[in-house]
Structure 1
């Protein structure tokens, strides 16, 4: 196993979401403080698929059911080609199916990367705070996880990260941009600085929320650094396909071939492939709601800042809200009236994701009421 003299922090934070059974068991108050169930804890696209898109998915799945006795396309050829077309159109950069690999959600993509390029005895390095399942996925891959603590909380500390990368030379560096839970992003110049410090490992840029962001993708880097850069993406967030479990990666052909050589056979079902293909074909229509969502997020942030909350800058459709004396107590106060926020393991902040306009209205109204009742302590 690699060793280093740099004192890195090994994350031991909670990885479980709030107890859903506990939520469902709550008795909500009647009257103005009972809001039903409003879920602003998952940073997904809250707009459901339009009925005609739902019907198109149903028809695609129906076709696959008729041939369900056959194995799926192990190469996921059609889906990879469609995803390459989508990426090329939106990034205006040449991308082909040879630059795409797909799996059952971004978590599986990450696990396969960690296993292939680090594996037992290797090291994956990340920045805090970030996606809480990075260390869990690394552990599942048999890989050592190390994270760089921040001195600029809740934003991440890039200077400390660059120092750690230069000294430790991890096998994989993983950076989410935009980041979950803080919503901050990094520039192309910063990623190139990471690559200059990283002599033999690879850089994984988790772009799970890139379609729900005000920032550009780093996809241009896969041509500049075809053997060192991987982008992870998903259909779970902006594309409203979280239940479909489809993630994909964009990289140079050598990296893609390494992943394909180690993948399990028939790892993505024919039903998932067919449904995801329909979603990609209608990408522009589905993503048309994202600007509305970003405007809703701006509206919420402006109101909360006027009320005295600390809202660190976010490039995405979610944001951190604080600084609370006891973040979990505030989470409980909202949950008691039927509003679920993201308790992401930070001592003084909760994560809020923009929902539908009427849900956001009720959240802001509830916030005003909870402040008046003294149930939110800053």
Structure 2
């Protein structure tokens, strides 16, 4: 049988492995930052009804401009945003890919501050961009000065700022984001995939869009709306940016069923955000109780916690897995990343961590 090495793939793809995390059937899955709660029954029923209305017309192509969905996103985000400022795709990764296809490419560079979301360099590679990783401070924070210096040194075409940051949970303050927008000559995108889980939801880069036409703010429905299996991401930006993204999207890229499901879910944003509040409580519980046990969890504004103070992350990962608990080893020394789960899942996690500490 032909192997991958025998195929005429691009030279820069040779030796690489696909992105992915373990998909194991265990009782407590806290490894990929999913929303621990199922879609509420009332919300699911509304979505099913919308799908039933859309399905008979599936012989026709969907609304190419997904006008109803863009209006729904604008209403959800607020801040005076209009439909013309909204874009969407099949998950926020596709939205980020659109941005790099429009504003990146060969001979251009993408800068971000590491450790950060591991898809960024893969997306850059996919469009032939140069990836420029700039290390964060030891506590994973960023300052306006550090951002300005990095942009001045590397002169990137695109800057990605993940806030709250994955895998550390670190929020980036608005002063630092504005410093990046002022210093960069190109595009600055703030990836707010976990924004709904922040301690202060009002501290969003959406408030800066009016002053900075090359600033973009991306979001996802995977986390707060428990839509990881549906795949809907979106961003807000100047209308001219949205026009640029139209140049690179595939025709009719959002199916009619995806659009119908997302519009229905957005009608229930209050119900979905109440579940987010429960997960924020469990996240803070993880921080507090693991601190009391002698671990060193980092402050988090996301739905997960990066836990430091672990002597042997691989051994701890395996020991938790033996107890039916799946977490994530992100490769940072002496750490594991743990997603906030339900109250019962959090109790199981904390009990297991206490037992391992005692051993």
Cα deviation, residue 13, structure 1: 11
- Cα deviation, residue 285, structure 1: 1.2
Tell me the equivalent position of 1:179: 165
Q: What is the 5 A alignment of 1:244-255?
A: 244-255=230-241
* 1:214-233 correspondence runs (5 A): 214-215=199-200, 216-226=203-213, 228-233=214-219
Q: What is the number of equivalent residue pairs in this alignment?
A: 343
Q: How does 1:256-271 map to 2 (within 5 A)?
A: 256-271=242-257
Residue aligning to 1:57? 47
> Secondary structure, in 3 states, of the residue corresponding to 1:289?
helix
What SS does structure 2 have at the residue aligned with 1:148?
A: strand
Alignment check: 8 A CA contact 2:101 2:248 kept: no
Match of 2:9 in 1: none
- Match for residue 19 of structure 1? 22
2:272 equivalent in structure 1? 286
Tell me the equivalent position of 1:204. Answer: 189
TM-score, reference length from structure 2: 0.91
1:241-285 Cα distance to aligned partner (Å, 9 max, x none): 111101111001111111113221100000000000001111111
Where does 1:28-107 land on structure 2 (aligned, <5 Å)?
37-88=27-78, 93-107=79-93
| Whole-angstrom distance in 2 between the partners of 1:18 and 1:47 | 20
Consecutive unaligned residues in structure 1, runs of 5 or more: 1-11, 25-35, 374-378
Structure 1 pair 155–17 and aligned structure 2 pair: CA distance change class (3 A): farther
Of residues 331, 335, 341 in structure 1, which corresponds to 2:321? 335
* SS, match of residue 245 in structure 1: coil
SS of the aligned residue for 1:115 comes to helix
Q: Secondary structure at the match of 1:342?
A: coil
Counterpart of 1:317 in structure 2 is 303
Match of 1:236 in 2: 222
* Conservation of the 8 A alpha-carbon contact between 2:144 and 2:179: no
- Of 193, 198, 215 in structure 2, the residue corresponding to residue 213 of structure 1 is 198
1:192 offset after TM fit, Å?
Answer: 1.4
Does the 8 A contact of 2:313 with 2:329 survive in 1?
yes
Q: Distance in 1 between matches of 2:164 and 2:225?
A: 16
Relative to 1, partners in 2 of residues 1:96 and 1:59: Cα closer, same or farther, differing over 3 Å? same
Q: Counterpart of 2:354?
A: 368
- Give the CA deviation at 1:42: 2.1
RMSD: 1.8
**Local SS of the residue matching 2:296:** coil
Contact 2:102/2:247, CA 8 A, preserved across alignment: no
Q: Distance in 1 between matches of 2:358 and 2:179?
A: 48
TM-score (norm 1): 0.87
Match of 1:120 in 2: 106
Distance (whole Å) between structure 2 residues aligned to residue 305 and residue 175 of structure 1: 28
User: How far apart, CA to CA, are the structure 2 residues paired with 1:80 and 1:122?
Assistant: 30
Equivalent residue of 1:264, what SS? coil
Deviation at 1:158, TM superposition (A): 6.1
With over 3 angstroms needed to count, the CA separation of the structure-2 counterparts of 1:184 and 1:14, relative to structure 1, is: farther
Q: Residues 17 and 343 of structure 1 are in contact (CA less than 8 Å); yes or no, is this contact kept in structure 2?
A: no
Offset, 1:303: 1.0
Displacement of 1:197 after TM fit?
A: 1.7
Contact 2:218 2:235 in 1 (8 A): yes
Find the aligned partners of 2:231 and 2:59 in 1 and give their Cα distance.
22
